[in-house]
Amino acid sequence: MNPVLLLLLFSLQATLSHATTAYPSIPGTTPVDVSSGATATNLIPPRREVHGNGRIFDISHRYTPDMPAFGSADGVGQFLWLPYSMKNGSIANNSEMKLPTHTGTHVDAPGHFFDHYFDAGFDVDTLDLDVLNGAALLVDVPRDKNITAEVMEGLHIPKGVSRVLFRTLNTDKRLMFQKEFDSSYVGFKEDGAKWLVENTDIKLIGIDYLSAAAYDDLSSAHLVLLEGREIILVEGLKLDDIQPGTYSVHCLPLRLQGAEGSPIRCILIK
C-alpha cells in the first residue's frame, strides 16, 4: 500500500497576470483574455502550460480527481478537502490534501523498490538537486516498441548527456489525460534499463506515464535503474507540444522525510 502524504495548503493567493496563449491540445486549458479587464463577475484565473512568452514549459500535470492512478480504473478521486472555509465562518480558506506520493508527475527514491534502502533512509529528501536540475535532452522514442536495449542503442544518446526525457507513444495516446489506468503503457524493459546503466551517463530519466518501467517488467526494470542510487526517475511528465532538443530542466520534489516518492514540479526552460 502506498504511503500517503498529508499537507495543509495555506494562503492561496489568486493572482491575475496577463495570459499567454496556451497550447490548445492540453485538455483543461482555457486561454483567457484578461486584457479587456477582469471584473468581479469574470475573475477567471489563467491556467497556462507555457510561460514567459514561450520560454518556460510546464511539464508537470495538473492534479485533478480524474487523473489516472496506477492500477486503478477510477482515477485519483477526491484528494482535496476544505475543513476550514470562509463560507463556514473561518477567517481564511484552509484546504487539506491526502494523496498517494506516486501520483501524477512524481519522483521515485531508491527506497521505492529496495527495502534496505528504505530502512536506511534513502527517501525523496535525499535526492540530489544537481541531478534534478540542469541541461536535459528531450528525445522521441520510436512509437512501435517499449524501451529495449535495441531502442536505447538506436537513440544514439551521446556520452556525457546526464538528463534525458523520453517521449513515447504514451504522449500520443494521451494516457495521462485518461482516468482509467492503461497497463499497455510504454516503459523500460529490463534489458533497456541495463543498457542505459551500462552504456550511458544518464542520471535523470523522465518518462511520460506513471512508471519508468514497462508493466511486464515493473520490478525488474525498476530494480536495475534504482540499485546504484545514482539514477533518479521522474514519472508522469507532460511532454506534449514541445520540440525535441536540449533544454534546462528544473525539477523540485517535496522534502518528505521517510517517503520513497513525492509529487514533483518540473519545468523546461529554452
Residues in contact with ligand NAG by the rule CB under 6 A: 12, 14, 82, 85-88, 93, 144-146, 169, 184, 186, 214-216
Tell me how far apart the alpha carbons of residues 42 and 118 are, in angstroms, rounded to a whole number: 49
Q: How far is the CB of 77 from ligand NAG (least distance, A)?
A: 17
Measured at the CA of 203, the angle between CA 200 and CA 207, to 5 degrees, comes to: 100
Q: How far is the CB of 189 from ligand NAG (least distance, A)?
A: 8
Cα–Cα distance list, 211 to 31, 81, 96, 194 (Å):
30, 27, 26, 16
Q: Which CB, 18 or 87, lies closer to ligand NAG?
A: 87
Nearest one of 55, 248, 230 to 134, comparing CA atoms: 248
Residue type for position 46: P
Q: Which CB, 187 or 253, lies closer to ligand NAG?
A: 187
Q: How far is the CB of 91 from ligand NAG (least distance, A)?
A: 11
Q: Which residues contact 189 (CB under 8 A, 6 or more apart)?
A: 146, 147, 148, 149, 214, 216, 217, 221
Q: Cell 506534449 belongs to which residue?
A: 240
Tell me how far apart the alpha carbons of residues 199 and 207 are, in angstroms, rounded to a whole number: 19
Q: How far is the CB of 83 from ligand NAG (least distance, A)?
A: 7
Q: Are 209 and 183 in contact (CB under 8 A)?
A: no
What are 126's three cell numbers? 535525499
Q: Which CB, 10 or 54, lies closer to ligand NAG?
A: 10
Q: Which CB, 123 or 190, lies closer to ligand NAG?
A: 190
What are 39's three cell numbers? 471584473
Q: How far is the CB of 40 from ligand NAG (least distance, A)?
A: 13
Nearest one of 118, 124, 107, 111 to 263, comparing CA atoms: 107
Q: Give burial (CB, 10 Å; 0-12/13-18/19+) of 151.
A: buried
Q: Which CB, 44 or 120, lies closer to ligand NAG?
A: 44
What are 104's three cell numbers? 501524477
Q: Which CB, 111 or 206, lies closer to ligand NAG?
A: 206
Q: Which CB, 86 or 129, lies closer to ligand NAG?
A: 86
Q: How far is the CB of 98 from ligand NAG (least distance, A)?
A: 16
Q: How far is the CB of 230 from ligand NAG (least distance, A)?
A: 25
Q: Which CB, 77 or 83, lies closer to ligand NAG?
A: 83
Q: How far is the CB of 86 from ligand NAG (least distance, A)?
A: 5
